[in-house]
Structure 1
């Protein structure tokens, strides 16, 4: 039986692509931003990945420092990976790590016990528990708050690691892509079973990375199957409001850029969070399916 919720209001914070740069430069502004987020008292916060820049070390020390940052949020902090944490770690200036080893470390260190980060963590469902066929994908999470259903997807920049010249990257991409597709479908199924007013999907990538003048999602796009062929048609069929939150582009924007069969999907709103040198976060105010947005900045 569907669960009924009163039209109560709440807020959450979205941020990503932070901190960027050497620790002696980037950590202090980021920690100041976290203090401002704590003062805003959101129900929880979502970090959409890239907790380091693409030109800094992917070291265990860096990972530990970012866990400490996540634990400094007074309410729950939910994290989904970005490409800078693993796909780009083969670069010499990142420490010449094996990207798949870094991915395995992320999964081991950042996703445990069905709980979030933060001083007041919440319980979250993991795809690894709900779908045994995708048991490695501990990072794909879902939780409900009032009448809103939140889902994280492991969709990253650098064309989602769809690198045809690297067989191991291809294998990783296709398995993760299938997991994301299954998790999206399952989310819409759960939303149909419950009295959900708003669906929220959070991931790192700007999925229009491969866009050209003919297609938003050409055949070489690493986002074609998960977004164009799965999320968008299901969102159209569902009909209620969908909010997509991502980073990657670093410029704050709220818009409705998605189309299906050349027709605008007006029930889908997108937020691009600030990031890189723009050390701000987005406070999302929710009442039922109605949304408003505020920027949180450092003093």
Structure 2
């Protein structure tokens, strides 16, 4: 009872406090080393999370390495490991390793990627998280939103491998393309609907590194749906949005090894979260009422740092 009272008091103090603080990472666990770091009770990252106040932990996709087959057992095991990392809510948005890339020729067994997407939605996109004003998108359950005081948080299902339009090796190609178009439509509707209300800041979580150079061609449009850059519309839309609104927006993603944080010319703040072999850490993000520094980023193993201490994104 005393522990429950303490946790309730801690939550109340965090929710009402300014600034707000959350943790985020992705692309883990990939290896037994990752699993050890994240495991209770002695894992270094597990212990650091316990010692770091946070409202929630966000995982921006890729529960497993792309070289591992996407079996039910592995996905469930790794999701459980992440869930046990914190007593605060765990927010998860799918990554390409979790479903899109499950049909790779080198994997055994291989899976139809749309079947794996259905599995992800059934097993990891059903629960209602204990976050203020939390809800899921009715037509795309993995898209989530919540609001803590006047800060809006949301996830968008945007993944690597050209957002599910490339390397379709076991699903029926036209079916996969149609599914990608539907995800884009629901994503844009979700983004527009969630940022209608007046807020002081917004944080958007996706998996794909939309700034990574690619050779997919011209941006995808309503008329051009194949052999095109499916991530370009998100780059364009988010930059335009950052220029239009009166509040700061932070885009957080995983997918690539670079750990960086900076502000784009449009005003959009950009964080490539730790993970993916090279930076075995978890980012600590503080949202504060400051026009100059609305977001402060460090990691759970390092002191809070101002922009410029974390490497700047070069994209």
TM superposition score category, shorter chain reference? 0.7 to 0.9
Do the aligned partners of residues 10 and 164 (structure 1) sit closer, same or farther apart at CA in structure 2, a change above 3 Å counting?
Answer: closer
CA distance, structure 2, for counterparts of residue 122 and residue 149 of structure 1: 10
Partners of 1:144 and 1:150 within 8 A in 2: yes
Matched, 1:207 2:210: yes
Question: Following the alignment from structure 1 to structure 2, what is the Cα–Cα distance between the partners of residues 217 and 280?
Answer: 35
- Counterparts of 1:56 and 1:122, CA distance in 2: 36
Q: Which residue of 2 aligns with 1:97?
A: 111
Answer 1 or 2: higher relative contact order, Cα 8 Å, separation at least 6.
Answer: 1
In the alignment, structure 1 residue 296 sits paired with structure 2 residue 296 = no
CA contact (8 A) 1:210 1:217 kept: no
Query: Aligned partners of 2:260, 2:176: CA distance in 1, in Å?
Result: 31
Q: Unmatched 5+ residue regions in structure 2? A: 1-14, 221-227, 303-315
Q: Which residue of 2 aligns with 1:52?
A: 64
Tell whether 2:65 aligns with 1:69. Answer: no
Pair 164,239 (structure 1): closer, same or farther in 2 beyond 3 Å = farther
User: RMSD across aligned C-alpha pairs, in angstroms?
Assistant: 2.5
Q: Distance in 2 between matches of 1:245 and 1:122?
A: 20
**1:165-244 correspondence to structure 2 within 5 Å:** 166-189=173-196, 193-194=197-198, 196-210=199-213, 218-219=219-220, 220-228=228-236, 230-244=237-251
Contact in 1 for aligned 2:64/2:75 (Cα 8 Å): no
For the pair 1:275 / 2:275, whether they are aligned, the reply is yes
| Unpaired stretches in structure 1, ≥5 consecutive residues | 129-134, 258-263
Contact 1:51 1:66 in 2 (8 A): yes
Q: Is the 8 A contact 1:47 1:79 kept in 2?
A: yes
Per the TM alignment, residue 205 of structure 1 is displaced from its structure 2 partner at its CA by 0.5
CA separation of 1:29/1:81 partners in 2, compared to 1, >3 Å: closer, same or farther? same
Deviation (angstroms), 1:54: 0.4
Secondary structure of the 1:275 match is: coil
Q: CA deviation at 1:217?
A: 7.1
Provide, for residues 200-235 of structure 1, a one-character-per-residue CA deviation record: whole Å limited to 9, x for no partner: 1000111023558xx99734211233341x333222
Superposition deviation, residue 6 in structure 1: 7.7
